């Protein structure tokens, strides 16, 4: 009986225990269900992922598909699952969610572990799976709260229900933030390592995966030691989980050597991330074009692909030539001095660091840097440039014409220097003193046959001045406009060997003003051929000829060549008194070597959307401007400018080239525009404020050397190109007497009515 009572009591206890447990469990389930439904209706639709379009970088490419620029709000490059290397997949899973391929979106043990830490240490801990992180990144705010965590779990569950693990992982890899403005593994890989994610090594994969937890804290650029510790933690996790393996006898075994060697590797990332865009003026011109045709969001977030006409090799040559030419002019004008001095500013020379020094990694010959003068005496100065030092001697300041180094450089000065050579072993530099030019310039090169712009430089330094002088500035063209006067004469029955009077004259304009043109050298040669007049850039014959054929006709000719800038029917227009953009002048000159046909200038070949659909496609457009005969006669005359005229310096190229210098009154603007059979390039040099460059600063002295330096590069691949046989300029012409005698055959004396 006693035993029966005990059994009944035990049964009753067990019954009540089970009942209470079921009741509590039911209540908990009810609470969970209640919470689920209370939040469910406040959550976004997971189906939004089907139409999810992340902000993707718009890229600009050169004619060989080299990337030359980017536009973006979030720097992201979308990458597919198959292009993510296995090492990176396992690195991310090891660092962030080792059970990713096993759980249903929520890691119960991970959440429990995090909850215990939250309770014990009163700190909201992670515990989020990759799917939960994706839910947070796409649909929720980054706030740390219980409410957000519950929403995150619900969303993660729904995502797992609707999408495969591979797709979830792909979304995740393309949306995570990895520091320094980079979103997604592809953009981060290019930023940190300068290569695509598919080319990453094991240690580089581990470093990227380690950034996910705290991108700024573990930045390999800002905190390399911290980044290395984090990378090695990821490598250890990978090895422990069996993800660092090699194939041996048909099966995977741990690869201890790969693991250990990766642990020992130093952190190597790109450290120069200032905007070093190739062709910054060109890229900005592309941006301006796009901004007028595409919505802001599509331009900066739509992942457009812009394919352009720019040639990288020629662009580098153009930038180098222009910068060299502008510095040459600036040094010729002497040392300006007035350097910034940090001692006078009250700063400590022993601890002072220039912000620019953070960018001075991998210096090379030809770079320009700012340096701090630590010591200076009559013979030399010691200069600090970041981690480098250099000794400046009298030879390095020779161009200043000072005979003592400490007359130019003083302790505490911040100087501007050209790097001559670099010794990375001893961290020593060989420097030459320079100074930042005040003068400006522009350069443009166009393919004659197609009109494709191959190089564009809008100024000395885009970072200092974004105004594009090649496309936006209008400057007086000087004598570079004269070919349109002579072309008009040839179109109206004259020939290169006809003669015209080089003698002072005065003309009364329609406004009643007297105008008396003068030659540059103030000398006059009497009767000379049109060929000689153009070759020697004589002003009086050009104005006389322009007036005789009619300035209005000259303007009409210029319009056919594509010059749309305002031109006025004044005699001085024959001498380039009107202001014309560089690109219009260069494009106009392409007509001569292109058999009288003008190919309209263009700089974009096609534009694609992020799916590869073509939005725009540009083909060359043409218009007939001149008869072939006239174009050949003008080539001949312009070749004469090089052979025996104002551009004889170009003979150093030892190639068939032609062109024309230009210099305006008071030496304010200097030009040279020249061509060979396949390309036309133009150079302008001057000050933005339209002041004189100085006495005898002509197109031949300032602009032509820049053109020559560019053409030296171009002619390496095009030096054998020939003009048509009938364009030979012949021997140097000479003045003739009143009967037309003087080494010229077939010419006639042009009758004058002025």
Which residues are known catalytic residues? 96, 479
Dig out the tokens for 358 from the structure. 């953070």
Question: Could you give the CA distance from residue 98 to residue 405 in angstroms, rounded to a whole number?
Answer: 65
Longest alpha-carbon distance in the chain: 157
Q: Where are the beta strands (DSSP E) in 356-492?
A: 368-376, 380-385, 388-393, 413-423, 428-434, 440-447, 453-457, 475-476
Share in percent of the chain as helix, strand, coil (round to 5): 40, 20, 40
DSSP helix/strand/coil, 227: helix
> Which whole-number Å values give the CA distances from 207 to 114, 235, 326, 544, 646, in the listed order?
24, 9, 44, 74, 61
The closest of 536, 535, 458, 544 to 501, measured between CA atoms, is 544
What secondary structure does DSSP assign to 521-537, as a single string?
TS---EEEEHHHHHHTT
Compute CA 127 distance to the chain's CA centroid, rounded to the nearest angstrom: 43
The closest of 512, 503, 491, 568 to 539, measured between CA atoms, is 503
Phi/psi for 86 (5° steps) reads: -60, -40
Question: Could you give the CA distance from residue 685 to residue 327 in angstroms, rounded to a whole number?
Answer: 11
Contact partners, residue 401, CB within 8 Å, separation at least 6: 334, 335
Dig out the tokens for 400 from the structure. 């200043």
> Which whole-number Å values give the CA distances from 246 to 238, 239, 257, 258, in the listed order?
13, 12, 10, 9
The closest of 442, 370, 349 to 669, measured between CA atoms, is 442
DSSP state of 177: B
What secondary structure does DSSP assign to 444-478, as a single string?
EEEETTT-BEEEEE-SS-TTT----TTTT--EE-G
> Which whole-number Å values give the CA distances from 151 to 51, 52, 134, 160, in the listed order?
21, 20, 12, 14
Phi/psi for 104 (5° steps) reads: -105, 30
Phi/psi for 214 (5° steps) reads: -155, 85
Total count of residues recorded for the chain: 754
Phi/psi for 424 (5° steps) reads: -75, -20
Task: Label residues 427-456 b or e (16+ Cβ within 10 Å = b).
Answer: eebbbbbbbebebbbbbbbbbbbbbbbbbb
Question: Could you give the CA distance from residue 94 to residue 215 in angstroms, rounded to a whole number?
Answer: 17
- H/E element holding 341? strand 340-341
């Amino acid at each position: 009986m006693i035993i029966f009572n005990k059994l009944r009591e035990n049964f009753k206890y067990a019954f009540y225990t089970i009942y209470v447990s079921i009741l509590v469990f039911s209540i908990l389930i009810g609470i969970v269900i209640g919470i689920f439904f209370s939040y469910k209706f406040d959550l976004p639709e997971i189906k939004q992922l089907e139409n999810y379009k992340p902000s993707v970088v718009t890229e600009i490419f050169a004619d060989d598909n080299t990337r030359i620029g980017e536009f973006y709000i979030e720097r992201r490059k979308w990458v597919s699952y198959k292009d993510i290397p296995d090492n990176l997949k396992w690195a991310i899973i090891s660092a962030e969610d080792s059970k990713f391929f096993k759980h249903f979106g929520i890691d119960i043990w991970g959440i429990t572990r995090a909850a215990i830490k939250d309770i014990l240490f009163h700190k909201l801990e992670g515990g989020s799976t990759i799917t939960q992180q994706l839910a947070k990144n796409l649909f929720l705010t980054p706030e740390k709260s219980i409410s957000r965590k519950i929403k995150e779990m619900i969303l993660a569950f729904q995502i797992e229900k609707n999408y495969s693990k591979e797709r979830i992982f792909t979304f995740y890899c393309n949306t995570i933030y990895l520091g320094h403005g980079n979103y997604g593994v592809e953009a981060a890989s290019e930023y940190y390592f300068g290569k695509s994610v598919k080319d990453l090594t094991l240690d580089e994969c581990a470093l990227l995966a380690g950034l996910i937890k705290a991108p700024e804290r573990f930045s390999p650029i800002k905190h390399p030691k911290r980044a290395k510790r984090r990378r090695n933690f990821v490598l250890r996790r990978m090895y422990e989980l069996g993800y660092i393996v090699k194939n041996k006898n048909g099966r995977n075994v741990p690869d201890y050597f790969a693991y250990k060697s990766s642990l020992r590797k130093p952190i190597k990332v790109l450290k120069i991330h200032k905007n070093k865009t190739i062709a910054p003026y060109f890229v900005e011109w592309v941006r301006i074009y796009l901004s007028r045709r595409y919505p802001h969001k599509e331009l900066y977030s739509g992942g457009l692909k812009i394919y352009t006409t720019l040639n990288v090799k020629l662009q580098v040559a153009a930038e180098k030539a222009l910068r060299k030419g502008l510095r040459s002019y600036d040094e010729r004008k002497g040392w300006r001095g007035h350097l910034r001095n940090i001692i006078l500013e009250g700063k400590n020379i022993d601890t002072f660091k220039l912000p620019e020094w953070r960018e001075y990694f991998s210096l090379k010959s030809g770079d320009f840097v700012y340096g701090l003068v630590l010591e200076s005496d009559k013979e030399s100065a010691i200069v600090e440039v970041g981690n480098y030092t250099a000794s400046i001697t009298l030879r390095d300041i020779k161009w200043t014409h000072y005979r003592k180094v400490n007359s130019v450089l003083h302790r505490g000065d911040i100087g501007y220097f050209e790097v001559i050579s670099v010794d990375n072993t001893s961290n020593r530099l060989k420097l030459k003193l320079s100074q930042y030019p005040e003068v400006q310039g522009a350069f443009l090169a166009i393919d004659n046959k197609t009109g494709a712009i191959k190089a564009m430089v809008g100024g000395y330094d885009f970072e200092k001045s974004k105004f594009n002088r090649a496309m936006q500035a209008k400057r007086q063209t000087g004598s570079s406009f004269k070919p349109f006067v002579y072309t008009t004469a040839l179109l109206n029955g004259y020939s290169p060997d006809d003669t015209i009077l080089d003698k002072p004259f005065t003309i009364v304009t329609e406004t009643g003003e007297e105008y008396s043109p003068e030659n540059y050298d103030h000398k006059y040669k009497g009767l000379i051929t049109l060929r000689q007049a153009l070759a020697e850039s004589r002003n009086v014959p050009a104005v006389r000829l322009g007036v005789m054929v009619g300035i209005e006709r000259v303007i009409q000719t210029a319009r056919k060549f594509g010059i749309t800038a305002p031109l006025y029917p004044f005699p001085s227009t024959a001498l380039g008194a009107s202001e014309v953009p560089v690109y219009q002048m260069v494009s106009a000159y392409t007509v001569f070597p292109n058999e009288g046909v003008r190919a309209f200038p263009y700089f974009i070949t096609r534009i694609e959307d992020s799916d590869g659909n073509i939005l725009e496609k540009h083909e060359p457009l043409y218009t007939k401007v001149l008869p072939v005969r006239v174009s050949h006669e003008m080539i001949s005359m312009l070749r004469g400018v090089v052979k025996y005229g104002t551009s004889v310096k170009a003979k150093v190229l030892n190639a068939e080239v032609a062109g024309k210098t230009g210099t305006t009154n008071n030496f304010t603007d200097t030009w040279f525009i020249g061509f060979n059979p396949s390309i036309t390039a133009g150079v302008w040099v001057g000050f933005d404020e339209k002041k004189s460059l100085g006495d005898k600063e002509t197109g031949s002295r300032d602009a032509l050397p820049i053109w020559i330096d560019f053409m030296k590069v171009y002619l390496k691949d095009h030096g054998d190109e020939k003009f048509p046989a009938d364009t030979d300029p012949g021997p140097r012409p000479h003045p003739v007497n009143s009967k037309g005698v003087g080494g010229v055959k077939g010419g006639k004396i042009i009758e004058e009515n002025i």
